[in-house]
């Protein structure tokens, strides 16, 4: 696993952005990376926690046309800012698209970092307690072979999928979420902190941090004094 022996340190002021679901659920993600690019907001590290795009994957030019402005900005930003991208279930196979970022596939997650002498395990959040069917689906969908075989029908498939995603309601309360967290934490006995997105809940249970969704709560997270704190995205500035 990457960073297992020599863990990257999460720096004071590091920014975590999860589940923006751009472009179907507002322009908050685009606005945020514009502020970073223009220097209106300055951070030492950017952690993109997955599903920041409602649908984006590698080996395909057509899907990029839906988010071209944000993609270009991130490519530019990654040349001057340390960015860690944790692929989600909506955005994957991204390393070639973002060559200057450190991109972590689902298979590589969780990745362990250090935060104020604590071991922090970070992932998008769909790695554990998902079931065999979901795991198989993820493996097939994230295959270059699969994506290549589907290219003759790419426009029809992508247009249909983007239409469905545009209408999907993604913001809801996860009833029984604490039980899901307990099951996830069974995989993290030795870590001091677990940081995940995916669930759109913006809650902290002990050492488990469920990051806010930028699309739903309009919030991000930052590293402050060895802790992860949530902040309204529109209040951030340099």
The DSSP output letter for 236 is: -
pTM: 0.91
Return the beta strands (E) in 56-132 as ranges: 56-57, 82-86, 91-92, 102-104, 111-115, 118-123
Q: Within 10 Å of residue 145's Cβ, how many Cβ atoms?
A: 9
Q: Within 10 Å of residue 139's Cβ, how many Cβ atoms?
A: 12
* Alpha helices (H) along 50-91: 68-77
Q: How many degrees, rounded to 5, is the angle at CA 145 between CA 143 and CA 149?
A: 125
User: Residue 131 has what pLDDT?
Assistant: 73
Q: Sketch out the chain's domains with CATH numbers.
A: 15-235 (3.60.21)
**pLDDT beyond 70 at 5:** no
By the 8 A CB rule, do 97 and 78 touch? Answer: no
pLDDT above 70: percentage of residues in the chain: 95
């Amino acid at each position: 696993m990457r960073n297992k022996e020599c863990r990257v340190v999460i720096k004071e002021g590091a920014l975590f952005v999860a589940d923006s679901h751009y472009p179907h659920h507002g322009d908050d993600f685009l606005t945020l990376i514009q502020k970073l690019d223009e220097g209106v907001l300055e951070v030492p590290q950017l952690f993109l926690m997955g599903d920041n795009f409602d649908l984006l994957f590698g080996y395909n030019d057509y899907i990029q046309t839906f988010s071209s402005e944000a993609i270009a900005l991130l490519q530019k930003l990654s040349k001057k800012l340390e960015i860690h991208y944790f692929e989600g279930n909506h955005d994957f196979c991204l390393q070639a698209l973002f060559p200057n970022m450190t991109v972590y596939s689902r298979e590589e997650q969780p990745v362990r970092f250090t935060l104020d002498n604590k071991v922090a395990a970070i992932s998008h959040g769909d790695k554990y307690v998902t079931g065999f069917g979901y795991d198989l689906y993820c493996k097939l969908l994230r295959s270059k072979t699969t994506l290549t075989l589907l290219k003759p029908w790419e426009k029809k498939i992508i247009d249909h999928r983007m239409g469905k995603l545009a209408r999907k309601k993604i913001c809801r309360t996860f009833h029984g979420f604490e039980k899901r967290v307990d099951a996830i934490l069974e995989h993290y006995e030795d870590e001091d902190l677990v940081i995940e997105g995916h669930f759109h809940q913006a809650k902290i249970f002990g050492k488990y941090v469920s990051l806010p969704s930028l699309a739903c709560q309009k919030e991000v997270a930052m590293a402050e004094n060895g802790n992860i704190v949530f902040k309204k995205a529109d209040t951030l500035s340099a």
